[in-house]
Amino acid sequence: MTEKNLTVVDRDIVNIEDMAMSVGSIVKQVDLINDVLKRVMIESNDDDDISGHYGVIPGTKKKSLLKAGAEKLCLTFRLNPDYDIIREIREDEFIAYTIKCILKHIPTGDEIATGIGSCNSREVKYRYKSEISDRPVPSEYWQTRDPEILGGSQFRPRKKKKQWFIAEQIEDNNPWDKDNTLIKMACKRALIAATLNATAASDIFDQDTEGGAPPHHDDGNERAEPDEYDRPEAVRPDHLKNLWITIKNFGWTETESRNWLVKKYNIESSKDLTSAQVNEAMKYFKDNPKKKEESKQAEPETETPGEPSEEIPMITPGQTNILAMWDISREESEETLQKYFGTSELRYLSKVEADQLIEYKDTGIAPN
């Protein structure tokens, strides 16, 4: 008993903080990921396009990392994936795989991170196949998402040649046509999970969460990317910002443009627009610029809250991550932002405002 106690006493104590990365190194890594995101990665804007590195799930704001994007991050940080099957079920009417992805550092061979991914033939997108009709999806469906408008719970909207049609889900009792697709999808999910764990990039990307909708084709091909979403693509903040820049550049006033948007799309706010509607609106404003005589009579242009002008440098990724480490509740954060800057979200701060907020966090000196 005494020897055991002595062994414990003599054991070296490891302080994990002594081996921690510096704040500067963390900021540098985050800036590198954002630099790769801006200069190398391509956004997948079309549901049928599987060549992108990331995409934005409609109805959300965060980018979802796709397989090609995970591979680019692994290339950036010199990480090599290896896969283990940790669960496998192969029955006549059911197939399932659970995969563990291990990322190793190529120069050193050290294991950096792991991730788990699974896929099975009873997921909605693999359990059913879709037969697309020539009946277009009624516009009122998008207001309520009520499947009865389409004909019942077995019907869903599907996109074909960039138009939405009603499709019927039919159960497919032969999972073996998709065996290769299922294991590749499990590997892809494990890779993305491991990459996010290794790079600590979950604040930039979400896991690629494929929707429960069945794919528009079901031929068993090795398509390991998300299929089209069961709704029109939601507008991204940067896309919306481009709309307001276009409006300003082509001579429209805020009031004129808002009235046109509300009347055209029956919305309460420009944030309710879909990506397709923003593209259509931008084309309209470009095709119908205001004449100089009209502009002289127009009201003075005011900056739209939450829609910053092109000239203002916005908050940087490094500043965002410094503020993300502020030890206050979400409610306190939103209250502080609203009190001093008139917004509840960091992404709408300018670079100068972000510096003021960082100073307030460190010193308690309130922003001007």
Same structural domain, 49 and 141: no
Residues in a beta bridge with 131: 168
Q: Tell me whether residue 258 is in a domain.
A: yes
What is the H or E stretch that residue 101 is in? strand 95-105
- Structure tokens of 182? 């299922």
Residue 7: what pLDDT? 44
Neighbours of 350 (CB within 10 A): 15
CB 299 within 8 A of CB 255: yes
Same structural domain, 121 and 182: yes
Please state whether the predicted TM-score (pTM) of the whole model is above 0.75: no
CB 116 within 8 A of CB 126: no
Residue 364 pLDDT > 50, yes or no? yes
For range 91-99, the mean pLDDT = 92
Q: Given the DSSP bridges, would you call strands 79-90 and 95-105 parallel, antiparallel or unpaired? A: antiparallel
CB 309 within 8 A of CB 315: no
148-164 burial code (b ≥16 CB/10 A, e <16): ebbeeeebbbbbeeeeb
pLDDT digits (tens, 9 = 90+) for 292-325: 545 444 444 444 444 444 445 667 777 777 777 7
Residue 22 pLDDT > 70, yes or no? yes
Q: Tell me whether residue 254 is in a domain.
A: yes
Instruction: Show the domain range for 270.
Output: 237-297
Residue 233 pLDDT > 70, yes or no? no
Residue 87: what pLDDT? 93
When the pLDDT of each residue in the chain is averaged and rounded to a whole number, the result is 75
Of 85 and 10, the one with more pLDDT: 85
pLDDT digits (tens, 9 = 90+) for 247-305: 888 888 877 888 788 777 766 667 777 777 787 888 888 888 886 545 444 444 444 44
Q: Tell me whether residue 187 is in a domain.
A: yes
pLDDT digits (tens, 9 = 90+) for 65-90: 889 899 999 999 999 999 999 999 99
Residue 115 pLDDT > 60, yes or no? yes
Same structural domain, 245 and 349: no
